[in-house]
Structure 1
Amino acid sequence: MELADVEEPTLRSAHDVKVRIAMTGICGTDHKIIEGKLSVAETGTVLGHEGVGTVVEVGDSVTHLQVGDRVIINPTQSCGSCRNCRLGAYCYCFKFDDHQVGFTLAGTFAEYYVGSGQYLYPIPAGMSWQVASLIEPLGCSLNSVLKSNLQPHESVLVIGSGAIGLLCQSITRRLSRLTVATEPNAFRRQFAAGVAHYALHPNELTPEAVADLTGGKKFDVVIDAVGNQLGAALEAVAKGGRVVPMGYDDTYRVELEPTRLIDDGLSIVAAVPLHDAIGPALDFAADLPELGELVTTEADMDNFRDAFEATMGVDLTTGQKVEVKAVKAVIRS
């Protein structure tokens, strides 16, 4: 990964909008791309998909936006013409991988972004850039939690307390009776203690501790917010429960016991992609005053390595491990 000069993008159609990027959040998938654990990204593509900014130019056919509007960019786009798109299931587009900002389409770790106006959402008055940059990952988290059919009387375990884990914890704490978080990193675990009901080191989540927390059983819903903890999630879920994989890691494999899934009535609910994650997230954000606190690190583009290293825990030059000292980092353009 490197900082490079590229040609400034221009409008390609009357439906396009040009945005001056204010900032872009660093996502766990950006980490996985750098680590070689997410193969969909094409070499040479500008990364970044949690971008927000100000409209500087609009195509002749764009009527819902004007120059000066602050917007959130929805990176989950589609071809619009395949069978699933025609049925409205845009997030399951047959050519899904070809239409993802920051993976196969030029992303928002840049000064400017150009794309179809249909994927841009106005930022409400009074919402900070920092909170706006969290709306897209909030939408993904909200979609997954809602698809798990979480009930008010149920208990939830969220494995991992990075940004996605903390967003899930914020949501489930409001929708269920008990949210427990695990996180090996002390900085993030302390942060999670202010979001979840309980925040533990993974080694503290013994069978005895689980029984004590849940009232004698395992967790009704377990969310893997890391991407390589599905095995641990299946061990922690109660009969009739649901496991929700949220993180991405192409290199991770896990063995499943189909008979246990059948006998215990378990469900694996995989539901991260959503064509319109932004709208529902904007509505839900009003109930999450702590959102802005999740952005703990900001860096200019010239210092992008500092922000990545703070969230990844890896020196990008040497490959050596360093201390994780951020929850959510953003790159200012």
Structure 2
Amino acid sequence: MSEKIPEKMLGMKLPGGAKVQPVTCDVPKPGHGQVLLKMKAASLCGSDLKYIYFEHTDKTGGARYDDVIAGHEPSGQIVEVGEKVDDFKAGDRVVVYHIQGCGYCDECRKGFYINCQQAERRAYGWQRDGALAEYMVADAATCIHLPDFLTYEDGAMIACGFGTAYQGLLRAGVSGNDRVLVMGLGPVGQAAVILAKALGAQTIGVDISEERMEMARKAGADEVVLGDDNAVDNIMKLTGGKGVEAAIDCSGSSIGRHRCLEAARMWGNVVFLGEQGTVTFEPSPLLLHKNLTLHGSWVTSVGNMEKLVELLDRKKIHPGQIITHRFPLRETDKAFEVFATGRTGKVCINHEME
């Protein structure tokens, strides 16, 4: 593959205050162990929306996102490779794991770059230029080959949301023996429903949004319950009074988290995926006496993301099915405005719409 690469490109920055800033900048050059991607799809994440687009606050450490091109859910095609890149070549289609760590700490050696605590840790769209541009430089170590069956939009879904949901299901050991409660049916919750089904489980989705409840039905949820004061009672009725084997909180809300503990059956697993917020509960009746296992789960590893790509390819599942809105790169401002309503599925920047 040979493609003429321009000198300049369009990119999008998030200066805060619910604003998107278009910029014209140089097309980057791949260095040692890096590749240059022509971006094909890049989706928006709730963390982009909350911590950069609106608040412009640093909740995770090391923020530098006012100086970088935004976007940490990239999928694209390699157009140039740097020195010492052996596993990829121009023309390859890839999804990008959205963080590069130091490479030498315990967590990096496990492939959990997300958990790297060293100063070298850099996330695309946060501390280094990301996916909301025409081109992006990525470390080859964070790239995963995209099978022919999976589209670029599928790849963008995998880069963060589906990877996060998959890791949570792995933490709970979900299988065909289980009924899985998914609390909160935003994009990560939709992904959790789809993947729990792929692993053979029965699924119960809960939300307060009628739009998102309908999305979960279309995604294959076996049951969908309104997240009102009767939610736990209704879940218990659906499970013969025993509760669910696994409860995955994707809401990040205190009520959602508490209800997961309430609805989990004896010896069950509860996973907290949703970011931020708080929860207060009585450990004895809700955790100890039920012999529950409570897991925290944050994103996934490069290795598990590769396994997820293989699973989706084998099961012939398109993660892009949860996309409800698509915009070209130049309309990124409109994309964030729509995403901020809280009534969408995934919102995707499709670079091929330009």
After TM superposition, the score normalised by the length of structure 1 is 0.87
**What stretches of structure 1 move > 6 A for 4+ residues in a row?**
none
C-alpha spacing 1:271/1:166, structure 2 compared with 1 (3 Å): same
- Cα displacement string for residues 214-264 of structure 1 (whole angstroms, at most 9, x for unaligned residues): 011222211111222322322222222221111222xx1222433342222
Distance in 1 of aligned mates of 2:307 and 2:207 = 28
Asked whether 1:7 is paired with 2:25, we answer: yes
1:115 CA drift (Å): 2.4
Equivalent in the alignment of 1:231: 258
Q: CA deviation at 1:24?
A: 0.2
Encode CA deviations 1:152-188: one digit per residue, 9 max, x unaligned: 2322110111211111001212335421101222222
Q: Which whole-Å CA distance do the structure 1 matches of 2:147 and 2:118 have between them?
A: 32
Taking the TM superposition and a 5 Å limit, the aligned residue runs for 1:47-126 are 47-86=70-109, 90-95=113-118, 98-126=121-149
Please state how far the C-alpha of 1:311 moved relative to its aligned partner.
Answer: 2.5
Report what 2:163 is aligned to.
139
Change (3 A) 1:12 1:288: closer
User: In 1, distance between residues paired with 2:229 and 2:147?
Assistant: 41
> 1:262 corresponds to which residue?
288
Whether the 8 Å contact between 1:28 and 1:247 is mirrored in structure 2 is no
The aligned residue for residue 274 of structure 1 is 300
Rounded Cα–Cα distance in structure 2 between residues aligned with 1:142 and 1:219: 18
Unaligned 5+ runs, structure 1: 315-323
SS in 1 for 2:77: strand
Unaligned runs of 5+ in 2: 1-13, 15-19
Conserved in 2, the CA contact under 8 Å of 1:135 and 1:285? no
Which of 175, 178, 193 aligns to 1:169? It is: 193
Q: Which stretch shifts more, 80-89 or 297-306?
A: 80-89
TM-score normalized by the length of structure 2: 0.82
Taking only the aligned residue pairs, the percentage that are identical comes to: 24
Counterpart for residue 320 of structure 2: 292
Offset at 1:78? 0.8
Is 1:28 aligned to residue 51 of structure 2?
Answer: no
Aligned equivalent of 1:39, options 38, 59, 63: 59
Determine which of 199, 202, 205 is the counterpart of 1:178.
202
2:337 is aligned to: 309
